[in-house]
A and B are shown apart, each in its own frame.
Chain A
Amino acid sequence: MNVERDAEAVYDPAALAEDVDLDLERRKEILHAEAVAAGGTLWQALGLPWNAPTSAVKSAYLEAAKVFHPDRYAGKRLGTYRARLERIFRRATEARDVLGEETRRAAYARTTAPATEFTKMEARKLDDERRSAERRARLARQNPLVARAARVGELVGRGKAALERGDFLAAANDLQLAQSIDPSNPELSALAAEAKRRGAAQRAADQFDKAMAAEAMGSFSAAAAGYRAALDADPRHVRAAAAGARMALKLGDLSTAREMAQAGVRAGPGLGVAHEALGMVLEAQGDKKEARRALEKALELDPKLELAKERLKKLRWGILG
């Protein structure tokens, strides 16, 4: 069991020597569990394998409680072990709360998937793609009559693949070529137009990336210009709008900030970042109530927005002097 060997190195051997009413095995068990509680996943806190079903959680929790709840050692001298037991138990309770509920469990499983699981999934995907490409090529080689159609098919396929891959400029190229061979195909022209639009979006994305890099390096005005260019290339680029608003705010250009934040909310009313940016602009304007509402909306849409959380906390909870 290498888990145990690993864990043994984690705890302080001095802790094992503490004079308490617990036998050596129990002390070892507690120290080990404490190390797992501090550094392991919630699965490990309950001694469960990754992605164990909710049905296994309750039983594992009860078992953990029976060993690690401080009441189990009532009346004994526990020294620092009391706090250790409480820490282990708290982590187990947290694990029960998260893993015992289907949606929270699934979300947690995704973020904690072990590397081996990832590789397996990726390998499976690549395999599928290679096989379908071979099939298409075989079909095209068979007959000159179908060669033209195959050529169009190939171009469309490549275009679609490029679309899927996110290489929209290449996709637009292929699809426009295919359209010139087969101009009467309405599906094809729609696809080509789509690729063109997505190409613009990609330009916007490039601009956005550059602007982000500029922001990271501290040249805020370059970043602001970049975000603006991204938004011009793709008016539906919500994150560019949000980031642009933030930049403008930083540069003190409140009216641009407001304009971009509003554009962001218009383009993506269902996206938390848009509302987050708007909330910050409103806060800068001094409109606290509206700011709070926007930030709350942002968090409602996306509870992971740290910035919004922090701003909201500041808006809401200051401590009385």
Chain B
Amino acid sequence: MSDQEPAIGIDLGTTNSVVATVRDGVPRVIPNRAGQALTPSIVAVAKNGKKLVGALAKRQAITNAENTVFAAKRLIGRRWGSKEVEDARRVLPYPLVAGPEGNDVRVQLAGHTYAIPEISAMVLSELKADAEAWFGRPISRAVITVPAYFNDGQRHATKDAGRIAGLEVLRIINEPTSAALAYGFGKQVERKVVVFDLGGGTFDISILDIGKSVYDVVAVGGDTYLGGEDFDRRIIDWLTFGFAKENGGVDLREDKMALQRLKDSAERAKIELSGTSTAAIHLPFLVGGGEGKPALHLDRQIGREKLEELTRDLVDRCIAVTERTLKDAGVRPAQVGEVILVGGMTRMPRVQKAVKDFFAREPCRGVHPEEVVALGAAIQAHALTAPQSGAEVLLLDVTPQNLGIMVVGGYFQTIIPRNTTVPTSETHLFTTVQDNQTAVRIAVLQGASERAVDNELLGEFVLGGIRPARRGEVEIEVTFEISADGIVGVSARDVVTGQQQSITVTATSGLTEEEMKRILDERVDELLEKKQSTQEYELRKDRVGPVLAEIEGLRPAVQEALERTRFGKDAVQKAEGVLARVRQAMDAHDSAALAELEEALERTLQLFKGLAEAGRGQGPGRGDG
């Protein structure tokens, strides 16, 4: 093998993220420094001002809710004021504000305002550091996955997050496609494969034609408002309705705290019902009675059948979308050679049965649903960095959404339809609509709606210098080009004069180039600081570690001494507090906190030594006796 720098694949998830790589020709997950495959996609600023990422951030989330950011993926690349952002603002405990241009979303965290890509970048940095620790060398290149329905803006924002994290993002690929890559890796697969991905918030379906190690994406479809949360909501509605009936019309949804508890237990019950036939929901003191009335409790049982009845239409919708996508692709269910289930919701037996009935075949269970996406990303990263190295996979991806421009009347004219294999290009002729019009504005849009305003604006430019003529007489040739790495280029040309104008669609992540530059500069400072603090921490650890070990060694003797005398009990209790804080600081790699504690630790050692001495001093007589 070459000593080329390895590349990684990252599944940047809504709740958890995973990093993987291909080593010695085998794709494998890289555990984080705590030894776990999954790193929670959570970022927090602790009370002492330290940034925390992953499990550490998750652990303190309940006590520090307003300074803990989770589910950033729901916000990345979204426009301020969009439905998704409005929904998120209602349910997320951390404050959101509009960006400086008023079009993107920012998070306020401990007095500092962060763009969403910056938040995601913190998670990516953590994963990068995990990979670097695992390989023992710097890592700079990665493939990152996104849901298939992500539009260009969201993809760009994810790419920006990678850049901020110091990664060269080789490619953004779709999660279902990635799952298929992992499924087919190392096998001689010659068949059509359907990836059925039902996650927390969305449903994605992808059809691939695999042959000769080429993964040809035939079609992608899905429903961006259909996922596990909708199943939860059905349970919540059922619970609140029943509760209102029993308690004279008390609406639980009016109480934010009660609703949060309901949500948690509804989700838990749903997961439980995948393995058992009934689940109990027990929520004591759910709402205060008010005006001297006693508090109300909720206590109910839900059976699997009830859940299936409540969510039957949701499962039906999944199947309907599947059917439509297959039809669009001209594929009959019988032609499908394998169905891969991805996403937590596919653990529900009813979903599995619906899939099985529709395709008349047992879905594939050979892939690990949590890790499969990252593994696929690693395979693609490997293919893009070490081509012609044996593991010759080739991914032929498609455009997830229609691309086009706005035409007269505010309509959207598709130029490259969805499910077109990239790289691709397409040209259409348009005409002017006004007499002596000398300029046209080309608004580049992406989406499924016929109305331009309902679609995502990717960019716009003006083609000027058009020769004056009657309306309809000037012909403008508009060409769209999508490169293999998904970059969209648009050009417009006056057919007669040859006057031409073009853009590369880029800046839609909400971050301007200057902002990006500032963030990257800041990151360099931060890295230097971090490096310094890491060195400092190592030094401290080397000093504190032996002391801690010595204290632990003395513990049995101290314990013995304490059993005999009441003396020193208070002091030891205090000392235990110091020890706990030292361990916490070690966990968090917090050298500043360690420095503060060093003196107290030294005193603890002296105390333990003294007590142990005292214990031993009295000990011999007893020992001899």
Interface residues of A (CB under 8 A from B): 58-59, 62-63, 65-66, 69-76, 86, 89-90, 93, 101, 313-314, 316-321
Contacts and interface: CB of A to CB of B under 8 A. Distances in A.
A251 B407 CA distance: 32
Contacts of A318: 407-408, 430-433, 471-472
6 contacts: A59-B212, A313-B430, A317-B411, A317-B430, A319-B407, A319-B408
A26 to B, nearest CB: 11
Given A74-B385, A90-B424, A320-B440, 4 more contacts: A62-B211, A72-B394, A74-B383, A313-B430
A63 B442 CA distance: 38
Contacts of A313: 429-431
B154 interface: no
A90 B408 contact: no
Given A86-B483, A319-B431, A65 B396 contact: yes
A66 B214 contact: yes
Contact of A75 (B384, B407, B423): B384
Query: Considering the complex of A and B, which 8 residue pairs feature the smallest CB-CB distances, nearest first?
Result: A318-B433, A318-B408, A74-B384, A317-B407, A70-B484, A86-B423, A319-B440, A62-B214
A101 B410 CA distance: 35
B407 A71 contact: no
B413 A317 contact: yes
A66 B212 contact: yes
A90 B430 contact: no
Interface of B: 170, 209, 211-214, 216, 330, 383-385, 387-388, 392, 394-396, 405-408, 410-411, 413, 421, 423-425, 428-434, 437, 439-443, 471-472, 476, 483-484
Contacts of B410: 320
Nearest to A96: B421
Contacts of A69: 394, 396, 484
B609 to A, nearest CB: 61
Contacts of A321: 432-434, 437, 439-441
What does DSSP make chain B's interface, helix, strand, loop or mixed? strand
Contacts of A72: 387-388, 394
A318 B213 CA distance: 45
A73 B440 CA distance: 38
Contacts of B433: 318-321
A320 B408 contact: yes
A73 B484 CA distance: 11
Contacts of A101: 330
Contacts of A90: 423-425
Contacts of A76: 387
B432 A319 contact: yes
Contacts of A59: 211-212
B387 A75 contact: yes
A93 B421 contact: yes
B471 A66 contact: no
A218 to B, nearest CB: 21
A63 B424 CA distance: 18
A321 B394 CA distance: 43
Nearest to A63: B212
A74 B170 CA distance: 9
A316 B431 contact: no
Contacts of B441: 319-321
A86 B407 contact: no
A63 B431 CA distance: 40
A192 B424 CA distance: 59
Contacts of B484: 69-71, 86
Contacts of A62: 211-212, 214, 216
B20 to A, nearest CB: 19
A66 B393 CA distance: 9
A70 B394 contact: no
A317 B412 CA distance: 9
Given A316-B407, A321-B440, A321-B441, A65 B394 contact: yes
A75 B424 contact: no
A184 B533 CA distance: 116
Given A62-B216, A318-B431, A319-B408, A89 B387 contact: no
B476 A319 contact: yes
A317 B384 contact: no
B440 A74 contact: no
A59 B413 CA distance: 34
Nearest to A310: B429
Contacts of B408: 317-320
Nearest to B433: A318
A265 to B, nearest CB: 25
Nearest to A317: B407
B471 A75 contact: no
B395 A71 contact: yes
A73 B387 contact: yes
A71 B431 contact: no
A76 B170 CA distance: 13
